[in-house]
Amino acid sequence: MRRFQLYIDGVFEDGESGFESLDPAIGEAWAMMPEAREAEVDRAVEAARRALTDGPWARMTATQRGQLLHKLADLVAENAKTLAELETRDTGKIIRETSSQIAYVANYYRYYAGLADKIEGSFLPIDKPDMDVWLRREPVGVVAAVVPWNSQLFLSAVKVGPALAAGCTLVLKASEDGPAPLLEFARLVHEAGFPPGVVNVITGFGAACGAALTRHPRVDHIAFTGGPESARHVVRNSAENLASTSLELGGKSPFIVFADADPDSAVNAQVAGIFAATGQSCVAGSRLIVERSIKDEFIERLKLKAEAIRVGSPLDMATEVGPLATRRQQDHVDALVSASVAAGAKLVTGGIRPEGPGNYYPPTILDCDGVASPSLVQEFFGPVLSVVSFETEAEALRLANDTRFGLASGVFTRNLARAHRMSRSLHAGIVWLNTYRAVSPIAPFGGYGLSGHGREGGMAAVMDYTRTKTVWLNTSDAPFPDPFVMR
C-alpha cells in the first residue's frame, strides 16, 4: 500500500496518525494518508509565518518569485501524467479529463509567474500642498488554502498561484477524500526550490485539522472551496483570527436553451456541462431551462446521448463517466433522485443505482416541469440533470434566477441582442453564451449569493492576496507646525 507524507517547513514527515484512502472504482484501500492534527497545523502555520517575515522569501524580489513560479509550472507540466494518474486513482475522476486538465494547470502557474512583478501601487494626486502620497500593494500574509476533492490541482492552482505571486506564504489543506495528488504536488514545490515554509501541504479531518487551520491566530486570509455548510464553519472560525476570506461554494447553475439555438451545439454543451467529471463540478449545468416548443425533441436528443455514454473504469481512456468520489456522495445522489421522483419528477433515463463494487451512478435526467422537485434547489454534485420549460424570455430569466446560488450560467441562442440582455440580468458570476465550462487563467471566476465571494483566476485573484499601504511623505523643509496654534 502506497504511503504519503505531510510537507511542513520544507520537510516531508508522517502525521501523528494515518488513514486509508479508498479507490472509488473498486471501493478498496489503495494508499495510506497522513493525518495532520492541531500540533501539525500549528507547526505548518508557524513555518509559513517565519517564511513570510524572515528568511530568503521575505527578501526576494517579485521577479525572483516569478522565476520560482515558472519553474513550478514546468515541473507540473513534466509530471502531469503522474499527477493525473494519482488524481484518477484517488478520486475516480476519469483519466482523459485529469490528463488534459492538469496539463493546462501549468498555464495557471505560468500566468501568475508573469504577474508577480506587475503588481503595482499608485500615486495619489492628494489635495494637500507639500505632501506626496502613494499606495503600496503588499502580501496579505499567511494564507490557509482549503480545497475539496474534485479538481484538486486546478482548485489549488487558482489559490497557490496568485498568493505566491503576491508574496504570501501558504498552508494548503488537501481534502481527506482523495488527497494524493496534492501531497505529490508538494514534491514539485520542493524540487522547484521554494524556501522552507513558503508552501506547506497537509491533510486531515474536521476539527483536528480544518478548524484548527481556519481559526489559527496567525492566519491572515482563508481561501476556501467547498459547500455552503462547510463555508459557514469556516466563516465562524475566521471570527477567531479576523482573517479575510474568499469563498467559492459551487452552485445550481441554469443552462438556458432558446428555440433558435443550434440544437447540436446546445445538446453537446449540456452533456459536457452536467455529465463531464461525473457531474462533480462546481459549475455543473444541473438545471436545464428549455423553451417549451423544443422541449420534447431536446430531451430526446439528450436521452440518446446520455444512454450512449460509456461508464467504466476511470483509468480507461475510453471511459466517459467514472465513479463518484465517495460512497457518501453516491448515497447522497441516490437519495436525492429518489426524493425528487417521490415529489413528482419523471425519470427520463438513469436513476438506478448499479450493484457491484465502486461508487458508480448512471447519467440521469429528471423532467421536473410543474413539480416542486428537491433536485431543482439542492446541489447533487453528481451526473443528474433536472429539466423545466419556459414560454417567454422573462419566464426563462425568472426560473434561472430562482436560486440562492449564483456561480455559473449558460445561454444558447442565435439572437445576439437576447444574449446581451440575458448576460446583464442573470445573477451569476459567470455567464457562458453559446459555450459552457470554458476556463482560462486570464479570466476570473466566482459567485453571487450562496456561491460565495471573491474571485479566482485573472488579476482579480491577485488582489485578494494583497492589501494596500498608504504612505505619506512631507516634502516641505519647514518644521512641523505647533499643533496647538490655530492658523
- 240 a catalytic residue: no
Q: Which of 40, 46, 85, 248 is catalytic?
A: 248
The CA-atom distances, in angstroms, between 441 and each of 34, 81, 97, 358, 461 are 31, 21, 18, 34, 10
CA 185 to chain CA centroid, Å, is 17
Whole-number Å distance between alpha carbons of 226 and 22: 20
Q: Which three cell numbers stand for residue 311?
A: 461508464
Sign of CA dihedral 415, 421, 425, 431: positive
Q: Which residues are catalytic?
A: 248
